[in-house]
Amino acid sequence: MTTLNTLVAVCLGYVLFLFVVAFMAERSALRGNGRWLRSPLVYTLSLSIYCTAWTFYGAVGSAARTGFEYLTIYLGPSLVMIGWWWVLRKLVRIGRTQRITSVADLISSRYGKSNLLAIGVTILAVVGTTPYIALQLQSVTLSFQVFGTPAPAADALHDYTALWVAVGLAVFTVIFGTRNLDANERHHGVVMAIAVEAVVKLTALLAVGVFVVWGLSGGLSETLARIDASPLGHWQMEGGRWAGITLLSAAAFLCLPRMFQVLVVESDDETHLRTASWAFPLYLMLMSLFVVPIAVVGLDLMPAGSNPDLFVLTVPLSQGQEGLALLSFLGGFSSATSMVIVAAIALSTMVSNHIVMPIWLRFTGGGASVSGDVRHVVLVSRRLSIAGVVGLGYVYYAVSGGGTALATIGLVSFAGLAQVLPAMLGGIFWRGATRVGAFAGLTAGFGIWLYTLFLPSFGSGMILPDALMQNGLFGLGWLRPYALFGIEGMDPVLHTLFWSMAFNLGAFFLASLVSFPSPLERLQGAQFVNIFQHSGAASSWSGGVVQSEDLMIMAQRILGAREAQALFAREAERQGHPGALPETSPDFLEALERELAGSVGAATAHAMVGQIVGGMSVSVEDLMAVADETAQMMEYSSRLEAQSAELSRTARQLREANAKLTRLSVQKDAFLSQISHELRTPMTSIRAFSEILRDGSALGPEDQAKYATIIQDEAIRLTRLLDDLLDLSVLENGQVSLNLRQGLLCDVLDRAEAAALAYTDGPRLQINRDRKAETLVLNTDLDRLSQVFINLISNADKYCDAAQPELDIRVVQTAESLVIDFIDNGSGVSVEARDVIFEKFARVSDGQAGGAGLGLAISRQIVTRLGGAITYLTGQKGAAFRVIVPQGMALAAQ
């Protein structure tokens, strides 16, 4: 009889063996010569963690209870591997190019890096996996009990068996699962150990099977006859349940965190899938080959009431085949441990990345830079997460008491994790899938699963009260967990699968259709769905030396030869082999990345190093970060450009303003000089003649009168000049207020004529007017208009050089305006002078006429204020001026 002590010794020896295997594998991987580690065979064998203790022990139990139904558990994954290899290929490609670390990471990345989604999936995964881990612990404990029942001294030990197993597994996982923070999250040691365990469990099961068929039943035909005779032979296939569980296991194969870990995350080369697609179904077939014979023989041999789940152990034991039983025990132990190890790694990655690290970063306020400090924190958080996950499994085991049949727990777990499937497949095949949709689907599915399957699975009255199970939530019959919406009599698992998937899919599609994806989501969606257009065939890791050389070349380009060589030499020395190129250890890569980041920016540096190491294509995140940096630089430079343009614009404006001021200043000087001249000239005459008169003893009375008159004239001229200047100033400043009145045009002209000719000696100028045309009523400032007319008439009087000076005043009324022309019969104004006659002091004639040259300037100001215009009329013989007054101011006389 194998004692418990030998069993413990065997277990410890086996675990030690696994340690050695894992350690060797890690060593060769680190040295870069572990090509055999990355063979398709190892990949295929690592997939066997699908076959846990549940399948190892439970399949026989299931067959004993429900016949061939256990096959569905194998059928689902086989169908996926054979029929859905393209889905797997896409997942693996996405996982590699996007550097996906877990199911939660995949969902989160696809839906715009939503951490909320990641947390949701992580919680779902933890809740769904915990019973499963408990199941493994239970199976190990049960198998111990099979061997250990007679020894009372072992009671104390086997009570703690599960605990010891849990602790042992946690330690193993911590050691090999968190050795380093490989950027690719690959664990060569662990994968190798799992592959070895896969061989052990297959060998064990096959050995028991061969023993049962040929050793106990006496051959193949006898065995078949035995099967026919047993109740199993009369088993009827229940179509719905068969299809449902096949679907469930297929979904679980894709969604289980540990399966995702080995399928996608640990995958070195997607071409391995080609081998796995036939080899893994073969493995499953071999695993299932002897299940029914063992079950049938077990039912025959073992006393009624013995646990069929343990037939694999108890049948050889009952036949005294302790060696075989021990092998079988190791097979079961392998199944359990490999599952727990990988599940713990997968879950700890999720918990650490999506729950612990975000919280830690928030509390420390640290940036996302992977400094050594953060690395340390990540490692600690991973380790604690592993311990936590395994611990949770143990607590579940301890609390639930391990009473429930193994198969049921497995299916409950499957159904929970299958909820990820719509978001996962939708995410990689449907660009329209959105974060809101994924969240809605997951929440709905998870909620229904929790309510209709997970919580009731603890047993009636454990968590959900009996009353609720019987009468439904709030006493509503249609809310009974096992008969949702009034559908009764269905298998609970199928019932849950149906409703949770219906709501999950419905919510996922509806919410996706009505919500809009964010830009990042849209981009990621395109990247995921069109992954084969975006990435070249993912290549596997190339050798370390080649990478170092490539890194050196790149570093030299960016840092300069001397600096790069110094950095590499420093790193090589630190790694303990000075003179050689440093190995591409994470520490070295980090240091290099930091160094490069100083030159090209963090994101670019990361992308460059990533491109060389592992030959992975640049992820969207990298590209976006590079784009961000570039955009920032471009924005900065365009800001500089804008500033410089602004400056030169300001400078130009200043130059223009300055030139304008200079021009204005010159104009002002000229104007003042002009005024000075106009004022001093009459004053000169006045002063000279007043002095002459003062000491004028010798002056005759005529001279005295003459000089007095000159003084008077000049004084008047001076006064008029000042009046004009003030008038012009007022008009130019726009301070003039118009005094609008109604009056006849002919009256205005009459007054103007009289005033203009008042100071001339006799009516020298003859004025020709058409009084009939002038009989128009004006509504304007009559005095101001009169002032314009006076100026024009007196100009004609002063400057018309004809022998018989005449002035024609012609009035024409058009639709829009009233036109008054003043045309004399003199020689007119020279062409060059016409442009300047309306300017101030623009006296162009040679003769002295007493004016200061302000008249036309004033006239133009007045007419402009009245809304009209004054122009020099070309094409006439003499000087001709046209005054235009807007029609609104002229009304036909009554």
Partner 1 sequence: MPKHVLLIEDEPNIIEAISFILSRDGWTVNTHSNGTTAVDTVHARRPDVLILDVMLPGKSGYDILRELREHPETEGLPVLMLTARGQTKDREMAERAGVNAFMAKPFSNSEMLEMVRSLSTP
- The residue among 648 and 684 lying less far from partner 1, judged by its C-beta, is 684
Instruction: Give the CA dihedral 561, 566, 572, 577, nearest 10 degrees.
Output: 100
CB of 841 to partner 1, least distance (A): 11
Q: Exposed, middle or buried, 115 (CB in 10 Å: 0-12/13-18/19+)?
A: middle
- The residue among 130 and 685 lying less far from partner 1, judged by its C-beta, is 685
- The residue among 639 and 680 lying less far from partner 1, judged by its C-beta, is 680
Choose among 366, 522, 382, 364: nearest CA to 101.
Answer: 382
CB of 720 to partner 1, least distance (A): 15
CB of 823 to partner 1, least distance (A): 26
Say if CB 434 and CB 528 are below 8 A apart. no
CB of 698 to partner 1, least distance (A): 7
- The residue among 487 and 844 lying less far from partner 1, judged by its C-beta, is 844
Distance CA 826, CA 710 (A): 29
- The residue among 663 and 677 lying less far from partner 1, judged by its C-beta, is 677
- The residue among 8 and 842 lying less far from partner 1, judged by its C-beta, is 842
> 811 - beta bridge partners?
820
CB of 854 to partner 1, least distance (A): 16
521 residue type, one letter: E
- The residue among 611 and 674 lying less far from partner 1, judged by its C-beta, is 674
Distance CA 111, CA 292 (A): 45
- The residue among 227 and 675 lying less far from partner 1, judged by its C-beta, is 675
What one-character-per-residue DSSP string does 719-765 give? HHHHHHHHHHHHHHTT-----EEEEEHHHHHHHHHHHHTTTSSS--S
Say if CB 193 and CB 22 are below 8 A apart. yes
- The residue among 86 and 759 lying less far from partner 1, judged by its C-beta, is 759
CB of 849 to partner 1, least distance (A): 11
CB of 722 to partner 1, least distance (A): 16
What end-to-end distance do the CA atoms of the chain give, in Å? Answer: 143
CB of 697 to partner 1, least distance (A): 11
437 residue type, one letter: G
Say if CB 117 and CB 108 are below 8 A apart. yes
- The residue among 368 and 698 lying less far from partner 1, judged by its C-beta, is 698
CB of 725 to partner 1, least distance (A): 16
CB of 791 to partner 1, least distance (A): 22
Binding region for partner 1 (CB under 8 A): 673, 676-689, 691-692, 698, 710, 713-714, 846, 848
Three-class DSSP category at 52: coil
Please give the helix or strand (H or E) that residue 14 lies within, else none: helix 4-31
Residue 683 per-residue DSSP state: H
CB of 704 to partner 1, least distance (A): 12
- The residue among 579 and 847 lying less far from partner 1, judged by its C-beta, is 847
Choose among 247, 575, 580: nearest CA to 414.
Answer: 247
Distance CA 814, CA 834 (A): 25
The angle formed by the CA atoms of residues 652, 656 and 658, to the nearest 5 degrees, is 115
- The residue among 178 and 685 lying less far from partner 1, judged by its C-beta, is 685
- The residue among 563 and 713 lying less far from partner 1, judged by its C-beta, is 713
**Long-range contacts of residues 158-165, Cβ cutoff 8 Å, at least 24 apart:** 158/4, 162/137, 162/138, 162/394, 162/397, 162/398, 163/394, 165/137, 165/140, 165/141, 165/336, 165/337
- The residue among 530 and 712 lying less far from partner 1, judged by its C-beta, is 712
- The residue among 597 and 675 lying less far from partner 1, judged by its C-beta, is 675
CB of 829 to partner 1, least distance (A): 16
Distance CA 743, CA 878 (A): 30
Distance CA 60, CA 67 (A): 9
Residue with tokens 């054979």: 82
Choose among 404, 24, 49, 359: nearest CA to 176.
Answer: 24
Distance CA 837, CA 132 (A): 107
CB of 836 to partner 1, least distance (A): 15
Say if CB 92 and CB 532 are below 8 A apart. no
Distance CA 554, CA 758 (A): 101
CB of 713 to partner 1, least distance (A): 8
Say if CB 834 and CB 860 are below 8 A apart. no
CB of 833 to partner 1, least distance (A): 13
**Long-range contacts of residues 231-237, Cβ cutoff 8 Å, at least 24 apart:** 231/299, 232/63, 232/64, 232/67, 232/68, 232/292, 232/295, 232/296, 232/299, 235/66, 235/67, 235/68, 237/68
CB of 692 to partner 1, least distance (A): 6
- The residue among 491 and 713 lying less far from partner 1, judged by its C-beta, is 713
Q: Is 189 left (phi over 0), alpha (psi -120 to 50) or beta?
A: alpha
